[in-house]
Amino acid sequence: MPNISDVARRAKVSRTTVSRVLNGKDDVNEETRRRVLEAIRELNYRPSALARSLVKQKTDTIGVILSDITDPFFSRIIQGVEDVAHKFGYGIVYASMRWDPQIKHNYVNFLRSGRVDGLLMMGHTVGNEDYVREMVEERFPLVLVEYWINNLKANFIAIDNRGGGYLATRHLLGLGHRRIAHVAGHKNARVSQERLAGYRQALAEAGVSYDESLVVYSDFTTEGAIPVAKKLLSLPERPTAIFAANDLMAYGVIHAARELGLKVPRELAVVGYDDIELASLVTPPLTTIHQPRYEIGSMAAWSLIQQIENKEMQPTVTEFKTSLVIRESCGAK
């Protein structure tokens, strides 16, 4: 790969002049510029982003760390992030940590060591995440999505997960269900705890006592939810409704029910969470919790870029609300 010196030599100018042309400065003689551009083309020269970033201390790249890149929940969020980032001239780097706190930490270190100007993190794990605190203290540009940590002066895009869990459960209660099970998300995920908390809150308000045996954990995938759903549905006193912590698992629940010969929604009501694109399009259309995902993504990216380009920005907490979308999986319609 040719470098800037090769170009300079060929164009018979100094490296500085080549650099000027490269960066579109206007204090370059037209004829000189022409020669430089020609040399660049002839050599098929491509400036090293690495070297440039090193000297400018800027990579024009933002890192996105998420729990699972294959989760359709992220698809619209990512679109929002990409649209905004591109508009501002940033590239994006994704890292998928699969709910593994160790992989997550590794990726944070990987990306932080000069590879990106800032970090967008979504999919928060349980446990020691002091390094997140450190990043905030060191004023490393950072946006945390989905969650909100007390006493941490950072930029948050919060989603009302507890409220969502509450809405979902109350809907089932309103339909007369009393024996309502919950297929929770990944044990390592904070959102699991929050949605579970919303579920418990709704039960408590309705005077339904909490039955631990009705709550099982899975991993936010359809395949993972099937066995645990079967366990729930084989309980001596079978639940009449199940709230799944995301849509993929809701389909796992429905699949399990079908295998056991139960009709949804007649014999089992199911509520999901996320409102992924497919939720309205497959059978049965899913009653679920909707979140403004595109807006969340674009807002997160915008907020991060603001931080990067203006270090003085105040940390803010933006909370997005969720809403219940009633379709056919609980027979309410």
Binding stretches for DNA (CB under 7 A): 1, 3-5, 12-20, 22-23, 26-29, 31-33, 45, 47-48, 50-52, 54-57
**Out of 75, 193, 201, 318, which residue is the one contacting a second copy (CB under 8 A)?**
75
Residue 319 binds a second copy, judged by CB under 8 A: no
H or E stretch at 40: helix 30-43
Question: What phi and psi, each to the nearest 5 degrees, are found at residue 221?
Answer: -115, 155
**Out of 22, 32, 82, 215, which residue is the one contacting a second copy (CB under 8 A)?**
82
Q: Smallest gap, in angstroms, from Cβ of residue 17 to DNA?
A: 4
Q: Which of the choices a second copy, DNA, none does residue 259 contact, using the CB cut-off of 5 to 8 A by kind?
A: none
Distances (CA, A) of 208 to 12, 85, 266: 83, 47, 22
Q: Smallest gap, in angstroms, from Cβ of residue 277 to a second copy?
A: 6
H or E stretch at 295: helix 293-309
d(CA 288, CA 177): 16
Give residues with Cβ within 8 angstroms of 76, minimum separation 6: 277, 293, 294, 297
d(CA 331, CA 321): 25
Q: Which of the choices DNA, a second copy, none does residue 115 contact, using the CB cut-off of 5 to 8 A by kind?
A: a second copy
**Out of 35, 65, 67, 96, which residue is the one contacting a second copy (CB under 8 A)?**
96
Give the interface segment with a second copy, choosing from 10-18, 92-100, 119-127, 233-241 (CB under 8 A): 92-100
**Out of 29, 42, 49, 231, which residue is the one contacting a second copy (CB under 8 A)?**
49
Across the beta sheet with 142-145, the strand order is 91-96, 61-66, 118-122, 142-145, 155-159, 317-320
Residue 310 binds a second copy, judged by CB under 8 A: no
Distances (CA, A) of 89 to 55, 148, 186, 201: 19, 28, 35, 44
Q: Which is nearer to a second copy, 114 or 174 (CB)?
A: 114
d(CA 282, CA 54): 50
**Out of 4, 21, 40, 74, which residue is the one contacting a second copy (CB under 8 A)?**
74
Q: Smallest gap, in angstroms, from Cβ of residue 211 to a second copy?
A: 27
Q: Which of the choices a second copy, DNA, none does residue 234 contact, using the CB cut-off of 5 to 8 A by kind?
A: none
CA nearest to 122, candidates 142, 150, 151, 92: 142
Structure tokens at 286: 């899913």
Q: Smallest gap, in angstroms, from Cβ of residue 76 to a second copy?
A: 8
Region 251-290 residues binding a second copy, contact defined as CB under 8 A:
251-252, 254-255, 258, 277-278, 281-284
Give the interface segment with a second copy, choosing from 15-23, 104-112, 142-150, 309-317 (CB under 8 A): 104-112
CA nearest to 243, candidates 206, 283, 294, 192: 192
User: Chain centroid to CA 329: how far?
Assistant: 26
Across the beta sheet with 180-184, the strand order is 215-217, 180-184, 241-244, 269-271
Q: Smallest gap, in angstroms, from Cβ of residue 5 to DNA?
A: 6
**Out of 16, 23, 113, 314, which residue is the one contacting a second copy (CB under 8 A)?**
113
Distances (CA, A) of 23 to 17, 18, 116: 10, 9, 21
Q: Smallest gap, in angstroms, from Cβ of residue 37 to DNA?
A: 12
Q: Which residues bind a second copy (CB under 8 A)?
A: 1, 44, 46-51, 53-54, 59, 61, 69-70, 72, 74-76, 78-79, 82, 86, 91-96, 103, 107, 109-110, 112-115, 134, 138, 221-223, 226, 248, 251-252, 254-255, 258, 277-278, 281-284
